[in-house]
Structure 1
Amino acid sequence: MTKLGIIGGTGPESTLLYYRAICEGVQARLGDETLPQLTVESLSVFEVFRYCSAGDFDGLTAYLSAGFDALAAAGAEVASLTAITPHIVFDRLVEASPVPLISAVDTVRDEAVARGADRVLLLGTGFTMSPETNGFFTRPFADAGIEVVLPDAPEIAEIQHRIATELELGVVTDETRDRFVRIIDRVRRSGDIDQVVLGCTELPMVLDDAVSPVPCLDTVAVHTRALVDAAVGA
């Protein structure tokens, strides 16, 4: 089995989602008594936010690259992030990493293409949705012929606040779930959207197809399937 390495802590809750999904995915392929070879290098989502807020993308690259170096030193043969926001510098990380990296953005874009999506709503951190920094996410979708729609500016600020002060700390409330559902519904009513991309890996804690008025593209589910494929050599 190929040994995986993941950057955790960005945030802690999504790291748990990734670990569970990778373990369950490997067991589904190879049997209940088989678990993945996996190393986690835990960094901090709040450091990522600080680098992004300061526009220090060189610093962010160095911070994350050190994590991938540690994973490679621990024997990881392929690695990934467990968060979307750090993909802002993914191209730089690929160049610096001693092992291949699997992009969450590319895997969720490929899933959107497979579903025949033409127009998707992106939800994520303020940095993932901001017009100043969202090109790392919107360009791959645009290149595939898929339009990415964003919430309005006050909604982006509110989503960022709720992610940073609640979801990153493991706090899940019906109020936040209902607020996110209302935002999705407002965008749906203002124009056709095929899917809503859960572009923050904590969002599956509060959103799924059972509550969303639009089908969800769950980045964690899609990305971890690709990591399981890498682990088992599929």
Structure 2
Amino acid sequence: MKKLGLIGGIGPESTVAYYRKIIHGVQAQAGKENLPRLSIESLNAFTVFQLCRSREFDQLGDYVLSAIRSLAAGGADMVALTGNTPNIVMDRILPASPIPIVSAIDATCNAAQKRGARRVGLLGTVFTMTNTFFKTPFEDKGMEVIVPSESQIARIQAKIEAELEHGIVKDDTRQEFIAIIQDLQQREGIDHVALACTELPLILSDNNSPVPCLDTVEIHVEALVQAVVSS
């Protein structure tokens, strides 16, 4: 099996989920006595947010690339980001990366197309919801991507930063997010919702969402397991 490098800390809770799910996924594919070769380089989600707010995208690209290069130097054959927001600088980091990057957005887009999604609600950080890097691959394949209202986007970002990035799960936040999905379903006719912040699965899933979820963590992990096991 090839060695996988994970860029973690973006955020910490999703990094733990990635690690656990990748191990279990590899064991399911290759047997319980097989463990993947993994390295984690941890960045700071709040540094990422600040660089996005100040639109210092060259600096953010350098920040992510430094982690990729460290993982490559440690023997990683491929790399994956455990957060979606840093994909905002994928156009900067992809040409300079010394090893292949397995994209969560591409994997999620492919999964949405296979499910027959037509109108996808997008929940994530303010940077993911108000920029095009997540939307464009879906639109290129004929799917519409719908974002919440400006006030809803602000609420989602506030809850992500103050609660979910710290592993804090509150039922009132869950109900507020469910109401936002219901609003998108009723107002815009969404048939799926992309959980495009990797901390959102802490509070949202198919068990409580009004429409089926495109869980970027689950979908990305499946792609990573296949990449590791089939290599």
TM-score by length of 2: 0.99
* Aligned twin of 1:65: 65
Task: State the 1:191 CA deviation.
Answer: 2.5
SS in 2 for 1:210: coil
Cα pair 2:9 2:15 within 8 Å, conserved = yes
* Aligned twin of 1:10: 10
Residues of 2 paired with 1:31 and 1:231: CA distance?
A: 14
Task: State the 1:73 CA deviation.
Answer: 0.5
Equivalent residues in 2 for 1:64-213 (5 A)? 64-130=64-130, 134-213=131-210
Corresponding residue pairs, total = 231
* Aligned twin of 1:46: 46
TM-score by length of 1: 0.97
SS in 2 for 1:95: coil
Cα pair 2:146 2:188 within 8 Å, conserved = no
1:115 counterpart letter in structure 2: R
Residues of 2 paired with 1:25 and 1:187: CA distance?
A: 33
> Where do 5+ consecutive residues of structure 1 fail to align?
none
Identical residues among aligned pairs (%): 52
After superposition, what is the alpha-carbon deviation per residue over 1:183-218, rounded to whole angstroms, capped at 9, x for unaligned? 000111113111000000000000000000110000
In the alignment, does 2:215 pair up with 1:218? yes
* Aligned twin of 2:227: 230
Task: State the 1:91 CA deviation.
Answer: 2.0
Residues of 1 paired with 2:33 and 2:171: CA distance?
A: 37
1:209 counterpart letter in structure 2: D
Residues of 1 paired with 2:35 and 2:136: CA distance?
A: 36
Task: State the 1:32 CA deviation.
Answer: 1.1
2:153 counterpart letter in structure 1: I
> Where do 5+ consecutive residues of structure 2 fail to align?
none
After superposition, what is the alpha-carbon deviation per residue over 1:107-158, rounded to whole angstroms, capped at 9, x for unaligned? 100000000111000000010011xxx2111111110000000000000000
List 4+ stretches of structure 1 deviating above 6 A.
none
Cα pair 2:5 2:77 within 8 Å, conserved = yes
After superposition, what is the alpha-carbon deviation per residue over 1:12-57, rounded to whole angstroms, capped at 9, x for unaligned? 0000110011001000001111111000000100110010000000
